[in-house]
Amino acid sequence: MNINKTILRLALEHLDVYDCPKKKIEEFINLGEGSDRAGSAIELVEDIMKPHQKQSLYENITELYRIEQGTLYLKETGRDHVLHAIMCFLLGIVINERFIKKVCVSDDNKVSEFQWKLSALFHDVGYPIEIVSKVLSNFNENIKRISEQLGIKEFDSKFFIQKRSLDKLSNGKDILDLLQTRIDSWELQVNVKRIYHSLNSDSKVCHGIISSLILLKTLGELYIEKNPGGKEDGNFNQKHFNDDIVSACAAIFVHNLKQNDLNGTKINLCKAPLAFLLKISDCLQDWERPGKDNEHGMPAEDYDISIENKEFKISIANDESRTKILKEIQECVEISCTENGKSIVIKYP
């Protein structure tokens, strides 16, 4: 049992549809201990995005993954998100092709290959910013404590990230309004501006929100540069932006929100298939996630997946991991999700 090998086997026949380099993906899956897996994963992100002629996207945004390598062993973090992004992407291909497309047959409810590339590969690119906020927050707490011990009463060091430059597209459209419209269409009770401004005023950073804004801002500027008139044809057409990019960024925005942020609603498979796919894949991809307490993460041999018709299950040997994943899915996703022995079973309806 090795979930990486199972995912590769199940995804292999679909990789051409996603314009993915089969040989490089096979080589990545088979990399042994001691290999530069993070470096190989970054190269894979670039290769997967190249067919879309968005060079500035993968060259600049993948730089955030490189930055994260230098923060991996800080106590404020411990996850390697570029490895996670690739495995999340491949897992999502399997779930999309072998489960979602069997359940949601309407063209309106299909997740396009480009939507999934953006959502899976870039849903955590804002994580280094969240790490920085935690590091500086702890630093400020220590400074405040030392100042009080020294009798310095007026010292106040407050960390604040200025995100104003991310808040507007240069053509005057508000990023938050674009996201709100798409999330509303998914029938989720998420108040985008309230959540954004609440985090901003509290000097907190949610990597999902930041990842969404960074990606939408970057692509928005690129589309404005390549298609200033908003034409409906060409590689940078406006319809493509509205349908695929805004949807991907909206899915990224909600993927890390908690139950309270959803205000009693849950992500529904057929109403919001892209948001569903990202949430499920992100939750389930728990193996081989290096961290401060575990250099290599949980072994892939402790996990496996099988999919048949309207049901798929993932076996997880570790009881604590399985319980945590099950709880998060049940709280945020509207679908039958139960525990059966060492497996999580997800069924539709």
User: 304-329 pLDDT, tens per residue?
Assistant: 999 988 999 999 999 999 999 999 99
Chain mean pLDDT for the chain: 82
Name the residue type at position 162.
Q
CA distance linking residue 175 with residue 4, whole number of Å: 36
Paired with 168 in beta bridges are 174
Helix (H), strand (E) counts: the chain: 15, 6
Q: Are 306 and 320 in contact (CB under 8 A)?
A: no
3-state SS class at 105: coil
End-to-end CA distance of the chain: 28
In this predicted model, what pLDDT tens digit does every residue of 127-160 receive, in sequence order? Answer: 766 666 655 555 455 545 544 554 544 444 443 3
Q: Looking at the predicted structure, is the pLDDT value of residue 171 above 80?
A: no
- pLDDT number for residue 57: 65
Contacts of residue 193, defined as CB under 8 A and 6 or more positions apart, other chains included, come to 176, 180
CA Rg value for the chain = 20
When mean pLDDT is compared across 16-25, 97-106, 115-124, 274-283, the lowest value belongs to: 97-106
In this predicted model, what pLDDT tens digit does every residue of 61-113 receive, in sequence order? Answer: 566 566 655 555 544 444 567 888 999 999 999 999 999 998 887 777 789 99
Q: Please indicate whether residue 58 or residue 326 has the higher confidence score (pLDDT).
A: 326
Q: Are 102 and 310 in contact (CB under 8 A)?
A: yes
- pLDDT number for residue 294: 65
CA distance linking residue 157 with residue 136, whole number of Å: 10
- pLDDT number for residue 75: 46
CA 55 to chain centre: 20
Q: Looking at the predicted structure, is the pLDDT value of residue 9 above 90?
A: yes
Phi and psi, residue 60, nearest 5°? -85, -40
Query: Looking up tokens 């590969």, which residue turns up?
Result: 121
CA distance linking residue 43 with residue 9, whole number of Å: 21
DSSP-derived pairing of the beta strands 336-340 and 303-308: unpaired
Q: Looking at the predicted structure, is the pLDDT value of residue 230 above 80?
A: no
CA distance linking residue 110 with residue 272, whole number of Å: 9
Q: Are 84 and 289 in contact (CB under 8 A)?
A: yes
- pLDDT number for residue 337: 97
CA distance linking residue 167 with residue 88, whole number of Å: 28
Q: 309 exposed, middle or buried (CB, 10 Å; 0-12, 13-18, 19+)? A: exposed
222 pLDDT band (50/70/90 cuts)? confident
291 pLDDT band (50/70/90 cuts)? low
Q: Among 114, 83, 78, 80, which Cα is nearest to 4's?
A: 83
- pLDDT number for residue 155: 42
Which pTM does this prediction carry? Answer: 0.86
CA distance linking residue 182 with residue 242, whole number of Å: 9
Name the residue type at position 293.
D
List C-alpha distances in Å: 140 to 148, 155, 156, 231: 12, 10, 8, 49
Q: Are 290 and 72 in contact (CB under 8 A)?
A: yes
Q: Looking at the predicted structure, is the pLDDT value of residue 18 above 60?
A: yes
